[in-house]
């Protein structure tokens, strides 16, 4: 199994789309697992009160566990909240607990409410964790939690589900990214779009794929994630699909996507 290139800079990626059920969490945990499998140290920050990424990586996320909530409050450091997954020593997770459900409102009255996650991702904390990739799994909204993720990140990864209303609401997401770029994080860029839940039996899936490629060009990964029952079963076992059924089409396609992302990242830096 060949190693993937380590990025010359740590890549912090926000996985965002205000629509629920498009594959944000599935993408965050499985890309992270794919990179970890190739020897890259990877951290998933679960920023959704539902805690689905924490469940999929089987890390403790009962109320009171040091989590992203305490990090936002400034009570706990990133290093103290990060747990090593049982899947791989290279795969870490900062969990979300149910306490995060109130954070969207609590943040409103806090100082530097948009940049509290960024402050926690300090150079010292990141050096201590020594991770190459960070994926921030966003909730299905464009509120302050997602804004915190966009301010803390270098790149946005947008999963798009290959179905009828795929592009609806995307304009709103892109507007928000523009606003964050203008006012809070000048270097934020939509670097990656991943097509998810592709169903080859439908003509519609191909039409959506083509439409997204026409509109976004090279930002869209060549790898497309198929709809696969193994992908949806895996979280029920506290596993990514790469651990649950490594030979399945879903696992292979997430591995391909991880490789494509890692190799493309390295290539684009060479061009600079
Ligand atoms: P989001 O985080 O955007 O809300 P999820 O990643 O939780 O979306 O995915 C929504 C649902 O679809 C989950 O039940 C998940 O297991 C399922 N799912 C995601 N990707 C696939 C896929 N490629 N094939 C089948 N089911 C999938
Ligand atoms: Mg989710």
How many whole angstroms from 139 Cα to the centroid of ligand 2?
6
Instruction: List, in sequence order, every residue forming a beta bridge with 196; answer none if it has no partner.
Output: 161
* pLDDT over threshold 60, residue 267: no
Residue 63 beta carbon below 6 angstroms from any ligand 1 atom: no
Q: Read off the pLDDT of each residue in 139-168 and give the average, rounded to a whole number.
A: 94
> Does the C-beta of 228 come closer than 6 Å to ligand 1?
yes
Q: Is 70 a domain residue?
A: yes
Check pocket membership of 248 for ligand 1, CB cut-off 6 A. Answer: no
Q: Ligand 1, atom 24: nearest CA belongs to which residue?
A: 227
Which tens digit of pLDDT belongs to each residue from 105-150? 999 999 999 999 999 999 999 999 999 999 999 999 999 999 999 9
- Which of 26, 51, 96, 197 to mutate for ligand 1's pocket (most ligand atoms within 8 Å of CB)? 26
Number of domains making up the chain: 1
Residue 269 has pLDDT above 90, yes or no: no
3 within some domain: no
Smallest Cα–Cα separation from 49: which of 143, 134, 126?
A: 143
In a domain, 18, yes or no: yes
In a domain, residue 5? The reply is: no
CB 99 within 8 A of CB 51: no
- The ipTM (two decimal places) reads 0.99
Q: How far is the centre of ligand 1, averaged over its atoms, from the C-alpha of 26 (Å)?
A: 6
Decide if 231 contacts 26 (C-beta within 8 A).
yes
Half-sphere exposure of 128 (CA within 13 A, CB side): 12
Q: Has residue 2 been placed in a domain?
A: no
| Cα–Cα distance measured from residue 116 to residue 119, given in angstroms and rounded to the nearest whole number | 5
Task: Judge whether 198 lies within some domain.
Answer: yes
Distance between Cα 268 and ligand 2 center (Å): 29
Q: In this structure, are residues 120 and 108 in contact, taking their beta carbons and an 8 Å threshold?
A: no
Nearest ligand 1 atom to the CA of 226 is: 23
Asked if pLDDT for residue 169 goes beyond 90, the answer is no
- pLDDT beyond 60 at 67: yes
The per-residue pLDDT of the chain, averaged, comes to: 94
What is the number of H-type helices and E-type strands within the chain? 13, 7
The answer to whether position 37 is within a domain reads: yes
CA nearest to 115, candidates 86, 141, 79, 147: 147
Other CB atoms closer than 10 Å to residue 241's CB: what's the count? 30
Rounded distance between C-alpha atoms, residue 257 and residue 170, angstroms: 22
Tell me how far apart the alpha carbons of residues 265 and 123 are, in angstroms, rounded to a whole number.
21
Q: Is the minimum distance from the CB of 25 to ligand 1 under 6 angstroms?
A: yes
The per-residue pLDDT for 271 is 38
Ligand 1 atom index nearest CA of 27:
6
- Report, as an integer, the average pLDDT of 148-155: 98
Q: According to the model, what pLDDT value does residue 2 have?
A: 63
Is the pTM above the cut of 0.80?
A: yes
We report the CATH number of the domain holding residue 85 as 3.40.50.300
**Helix pair angle (170-183, 144-152), 10° resolution:** 60
Provide the residue range defining the domain that includes 142.
Answer: 11-271
């Amino acid at each position: 199994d060949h190693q993937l290139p380590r990025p010359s800079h740590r890549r912090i990626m926000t996985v965002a789309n205000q629509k629920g059920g498009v594959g944000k969490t599935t993408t965050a945990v499985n890309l992270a697992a794919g990179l970890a499998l190739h020897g890259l140290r990877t951290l998933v920050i679960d920023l959704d009160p539902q805690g689905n990424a924490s469940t999929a990586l089987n890390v403790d996320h009962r109320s009171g566990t040091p989590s992203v909530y305490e990090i936002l409050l400034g009570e706990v450091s990133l290093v103290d909240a990060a747990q090593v997954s049982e899947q791989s020593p290279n795969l870490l997770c900062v969990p979300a607990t149910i306490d995060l459900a109130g954070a969207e409102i609590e943040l409103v009255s806090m100082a530097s409410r948009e940049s509290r996650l960024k402050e926690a991702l300090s150079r010292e904390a990141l050096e201590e964790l020594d991770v190459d990739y960070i994926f921030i799994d966003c909730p299905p909204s464009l509120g302050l939690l997602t804004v915190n993720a966009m301010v803390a990140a270098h790149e946005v990864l947008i999963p798009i589900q290959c179905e009828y209303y795929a592009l609806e609401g995307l304009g709103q997401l892109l507007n928000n990214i523009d606003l964050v770029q203008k006012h809070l994080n000048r270097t934020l860029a939509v670097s990656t779009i991943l097509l998810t839940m592709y169903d080859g039996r439908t003509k519609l899936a191909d039409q959506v794929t083509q439409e997204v490629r026409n509109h976004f060009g090279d930002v869209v990964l060549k790898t497309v994630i198929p709809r696969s029952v193994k992908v949806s079963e895996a979280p029920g076992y506290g596993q990514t699909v790469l651990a649950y059924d490594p030979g399945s089409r879903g696992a292979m396609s997430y591995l391909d996507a991880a490789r494509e992302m890692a190799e493309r990242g390295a290539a684009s830096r060479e061009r600079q």
